[in-house]
A and B are shown apart, each in its own frame.
Chain A
Amino acid sequence: MATVELVNVAHSYDGSKTYAVKDINLSWQDGVASALLGPSGCGKTTLLKIISGLLKPSEGKVLIDGQDVTAQSPRERNVAQVFQFPVVYETLNVYNNLAFPLRNRGVDKAEVDRSVRAVAEMLELTPYLKKRANRLGAAEKQRISMGRGIVRSDTTAVLFDEPLTIIDPQQKWHLRRKLKELHQRLNLTMIYVTHDQHEALTFADQVTVMDAGEALQTASPEELHHQPAAPFVGYFIGSPGMNLFDGKALDGGIQLADTHLPLAPDLAEGNSVQVGNSVQVGIRPEYVQVSRDAHEGWFPATITRTMLTGNALMLELTGENLQLKAIVPEESPLQAGETIYVHFPHDKVLLYSSRQDGGKRLETQVAA
């Protein structure tokens, strides 16, 4: 296993007119479980192809353990890949499928047998070893694909491209957990590409959120949740995503549509927000406080809809010309049509510069 680095990597498919990925600088330490997370078209698959060597970037370098491998083929880089759809030899049995990458590299027979059995055990494929791949379901076939990805001990890194797409929800939980266990057991450098935040956050210790060809933030799942570096990260991480409003910084607070957010005066005196600036205000639905009773500084809002999320109740609210979501416990008696009172706890409010100014996170000090 190895450390993988991208230095000033950019790629254009149309001769520099538009860029699929823009000036990416990222590194993956040896043995880290990481993910590239973003919507369709954000450039994450392009980046994966650049790492594996399937694509040579228009600009920049790929380093493996400090060595420039930009010109090397996937085979020379020794990178294993697991794709969206299982890649198995249908007519071979599971044992021979798993053994294939090893035999291909001339590994001796005893070593092949040892590795295949160990991988089969980890992926719960032992009972199927003698079965032909075409007798198995999609989930088992995908486990074979994963097994083929990790079976070689000399692999530089294992890349996963949305490997759970075709798997049923119940099976997904199981396979996600298996993958995480595999990583903890084997300590491989693994890079997992997905649009699904659940998959990225459960699998990876380090997640890079991408949008429109840019890497917006690379951080732990916890930090992405608590400290999203850009409004898009706040929206994309969390279910539902962060509430986001346009506002204006005033002396001693922020004007949000018809309501005045009475944030402590220090906020506006912070060096990055000037009075009169347009700003964006974010707060996660789970941090929005609601009450049937009026309190000072809380604003009224009407519940337009309620929805179970499976473990909580989501409220859609409209008030003071703001539309927002709040999460309350599933036992909550609140119902659509009610007018309630809403509050944004100061320590949970995040500030960003306006869209025009790039939506940068504004570091601010909130007084107690």
Chain B
Amino acid sequence: MSLQLTHINKRYGNNIKCRDLNLSLDPGMFLALIAPTGAGKTTLLRIMAGLEKPDSGRVFMDGEDVTKVHVRKRNVAMVYQQFINYPSLTVFENIASPLKVAGYDASTVKTRVHTVAQQVRISEFLDRLPQQLSGGQQQRVAIARALAKDAKLILLDEPLGNLDYKLREDLRLELKTIASESEAMFVYATPEPLDALTMASHAAILEGGQIIQMGDVRSVYLRPNQIASGRYFSDPPMNFLPATVSGGQLLITEDVHVDVRKLELSLEPGDYVVGIRPHHINVTPTNADTPPHTYEGATWMSAAATVTLSEIVGSDTTVHLEHEGVKLTALSQDVGHFHLGEAVTMHLNSDYMHVFVPSGKLVASAKAVRGG
């Protein structure tokens, strides 16, 4: 199936959710719709589903205008953050309900329920009631129900948001497998960058009622086209550092600068904002020459910094730094300890920098994160 949204406008009173929004999805895509809470993700999903009509604009499925077609006739399925199952029906009956509504015969219903139950690994719970299951299992039932009806478009609204962190990690991998075995198009709304990176083939960033960037997930992640993209699609948050270009140097502070030609960029003199992800900043003890995990030919900007906080995050360590009043976050991919107030040397890998104008648009990305 293909899906197009053209010139969609939608507002609730003064609250504008879609502002001349355009989005075009090709068959087989798994789209992650990334935006913070309240940005209009749910509204957009509901417009795609036909649960909500846009104030203006059109929705096309496989080239056909379905803007006015009712949700029941669109062949879509939706999974919500609050798992919705019928409490008095068994898991089997829950999954079977949309199939019965659609008028399938009993043996087809049985086969389909068993197939999807196996896919989402709940076969052994088919006779139980939803409340006898854990949160993760209940959400699998909801996903199974969406899969069972063989919808062409499956819309997921933060379906893992209420689940334990570790369970979310496991279910992401499962959902990716399920999607790869399904012919449906998946649209997955989430504020979590990791959801998108792990599962999606494509990513779209929603801000101010518009899709500000859309593309394959890797390119959107590696090359944000504006500051907002980098901000919403980054965990831990991308560092944004005010910078100036003058005399052929890109300067963040007096000590942190790099020759613009070395970056293979052409930048006019003026004010900019440099975006760099925490894992492209390394921290070493004072005066150590080379940062760890280095690769040949990296262009480092090194300077003294003070540790303001060090946190172990899973398998990584986040180090919060201060240098000449500039606050930065670095991430090293091991578990280490830095002390509060410790003097260290920070190394910014300028090959991974993005240069934005202060108003937000990308001017250029350094060589390691440029297009191609």
| A-to-B contact residues, CB < 8 Å | 39-41, 168-170, 173, 176-177, 180-181, 184, 195-198, 201-202, 221-222, 225-226, 235-241, 284-286, 305, 307-312, 316, 327, 329, 331
Report the Cα distance A182→B166, complex, angstroms.
27
Q: B198 an interface residue at 8 Å Cβ cutoff?
A: yes
Interface size on B, residues (CB 8 A): 47
Q: Quick one: which of A39, A180, A312 contacts B333, CB cutoff 8 A?
A: A312
A311 in contact with B316 (CB, 8 Å): yes
Across the interface, do B197 and A307 meet the contact criterion of CB distance under 8 Å?
Answer: yes
Contacts of A40 in B (CB 8 A): 134-135, 164, 167
Query: Complex Cα distance A341/B327, Å?
Result: 42
List the 8 shortest-distance A-B pairs measured between CB atoms, nearest first. A311-B279, A202-B311, A221-B312, A195-B164, A239-B314, A196-B165, A308-B197, A238-B315
CB-CB nearest in chain B for A241 = B166
- Tell me the complex Cα distance, A39–B135, Å: 11
Residues of B within 8 A of A181 (CB): 309
Knowing A168-B36, A177-B320, A309-B194, the reply to whether A202 touches B313 (Cβ < 8 A) is: yes
> With an 8 A cutoff between CB atoms, is B19 at the interface?
no
Contact A222–B312 (Cβ < 8 Å): yes
What's the count of A-B pairs with C-beta under 8 Å?
107
Can you name 11 extra interface pairs (CB under 8 A) apart from A173-B236, A308-B198?
A202-B318, A221-B312, A221-B335, A237-B314, A284-B315, A286-B315, A307-B197, A309-B197, A327-B315, A327-B333, A331-B368
List of A residues within 8 angstroms of B167 by Cβ: 39-40
Closest to B218 in A: A308
A41 to B36, CA, bound (A): 29
Contacts of A331 in B (CB 8 A): 295, 368
CB contacts (< 8 Å) of A197 on chain B: these are 165-166, 314
B255 in the interface (beta carbon within 8 A): no
Question: Which A residues are in CB contact (< 8 Å) with B221?
Answer: 308, 310
Task: Report the Cα distance A142→B109, complex, angstroms.
Answer: 47
Tell whether B266 is near chain A: CB-to-CB under 8 Å. no
A40-B135, A196-B165, A239-B314 known; A222 vs B337 contact (CB < 8 Å): yes
| Contact code string B232-246 (vs A, CB < 8 Å = 1, else 0) | 101111000000000
Q: How far is the CB of A308 from chain B (nearest CB, A)?
A: 5
- Contact residues in B for A226 (Cβ distance below 8 Å): 335
CA A221 to CA B164, docked complex, whole Å: 19
